[in-house]
Amino acid sequence: MSDIIYDMKVWYEETRQTVKSFFYEYGKLVSCIVLLLVVCVLFNELVTSLTPKKLRVSFLDVGQGDAILVHTPSGHTMLIDGGPDDRVLERLADELTYFGKHLDVLIATHGDADHITGLIPVLKKYDVGHVVMSPLSGHTGIFSELEKSIAEEQVAVSVAKKGDEIIFGDGVVAHILYPEANFHGNEKDTNDASVSLVLTYGDESVLLTGDLPSTYESKLIQEVLPQHITIYKAGHHGSKYSSGDRLLSYSRPLYTVVSAGKDNRYGHPNLETLGRLKVYTQEILSTIDKGTITFLLDGDTTEVHTSK
């Protein structure tokens, strides 16, 4: 027993001397490294606090359809439509981190397959906080599947109406412009009830109108809609039935984005519509040519990045 105690004392003394020698020889170096790390962390925090916080809006390349991902400065996420198939999952993987499996808000602008089909796999793969939908279902099979997926995932749902706001708490606000609370329409004309909204952040704004026809676009012109829009997603993929003169002459967007598929059977974007857009907007970008189109907005200035 005494031998064990002796060995432990020897071990303790040798260990103490080793540690003492290490700190004597390397203590200053270790202290300098620790101090350097602390300075780097503090510098990074300072730079982060002084760097303008940016809103990221990505018009995802999903072919003939719509899918828009909004990433706010504080990290909140909102997906507006999901395109015609599960291609949206690949695009979301490109835009979000590996661990970013949460979407705060999901908006289904209306019941057409090229807008909501991709939302079904999104609901299965991502943790969705809240779903906002159009008042018209269209009684389509794909809309029924979407409703089933929402129920299975037990996600809270609300019907969009004019005056609603989604406030992210970091300066970004989504203002619902349309449809009105008492909207009643033909279930076959789902485009007429497209959820339309404007995102505002500082002096910049993004207007998204789904497939809303030009006959209803005048209803979007209201006090909350800025007269000079930063970004406008051309209604109905650039169809001749959307993006009318009245809305364009009021909003005069800096950028217009056309979300459509190459050689699509509808002929989108329509040449007549492109002509109108060229009159009122400074630059037109299409997912056909540019792939996913991403805008970074700091509330005052805009950067544009494309995947092609």
Strand order in the sheet with 127-133: 156-159, 127-133, 102-108, 77-80, 68-71, 55-59, 293-297, 302-306
The single-letter code of the amino acid at 180 is: E
Residues 27 and 127 occupy one common structural domain = no
Residues 35 and 142 occupy one common structural domain = no
Residues 140 and 118 occupy one common structural domain = yes
Residues 41 and 160 occupy one common structural domain = no
Residues 205 and 237 occupy one common structural domain = yes
234 Cβ partners below 8 Å, 6+ apart?
Answer: 242, 243, 256, 257, 258, 259, 269, 273, 277
Residues 294 and 215 occupy one common structural domain = yes
**pLDDT computed for residue 26 by the predictor:** 59
pTM here?
0.84
Q: How many domains does the chain have?
A: 2
Among residues 51, 75, 90, which one ends one of the domains?
51
How do beta strands 255-258 and 231-233 pair? Answer: parallel
CA 16 to chain centre: 57
Residues 282 and 145 occupy one common structural domain = yes
Whole-angstrom distance, CA of residue 140 vs CA of residue 112: 8
**pLDDT computed for residue 44 by the predictor:** 46
The residue segments making up the domain with residue 288 are: 55-306
Residues 32 and 59 occupy one common structural domain = no
Whole-angstrom distance, CA of residue 219 vs CA of residue 192: 12
**pLDDT computed for residue 184 by the predictor:** 85
Strand order in the sheet with 204-208: 165-167, 173-178, 196-201, 204-208, 231-233, 255-258, 283-286
Residues 13 and 130 occupy one common structural domain = no
The single-letter code of the amino acid at 116 is: I
For residue 70, report the phi and psi dihedrals to the nearest 5 degrees: -110, 130
pLDDT by residue for the chain (308 residues), tens digit each? 555 554 556 565 666 676 666 666 655 655 556 556 655 545 544 444 445 589 999 999 999 999 999 999 999 999 999 999 999 999 999 999 877 899 999 999 999 999 999 999 999 999 999 999 999 887 778 999 999 999 999 999 999 999 999 999 999 999 999 999 989 888 889 999 999 999 999 999 999 999 999 999 999 999 999 999 999 999 999 999 999 999 999 999 999 999 999 999 999 999 999 999 999 999 999 999 999 999 999 999 999 999 99
Angle of CA points 63, 296, 52, to nearest 5°: 165
Residues 186 and 252 occupy one common structural domain = yes
CATH code of the domain containing 257? 3.60.15.10
181, 202 Cβ separation under 8 angstroms: no
Residues 142 and 59 occupy one common structural domain = yes
108, 119 Cβ separation under 8 angstroms: yes
Residues 6 and 71 occupy one common structural domain = no
The CA-to-CA distance between both ends of the chain, in Å, stands at: 76
**pLDDT computed for residue 173 by the predictor:** 98
**pLDDT computed for residue 188 by the predictor:** 84
CA 31 to chain centre: 44
Q: How many residues does the chain have?
A: 308
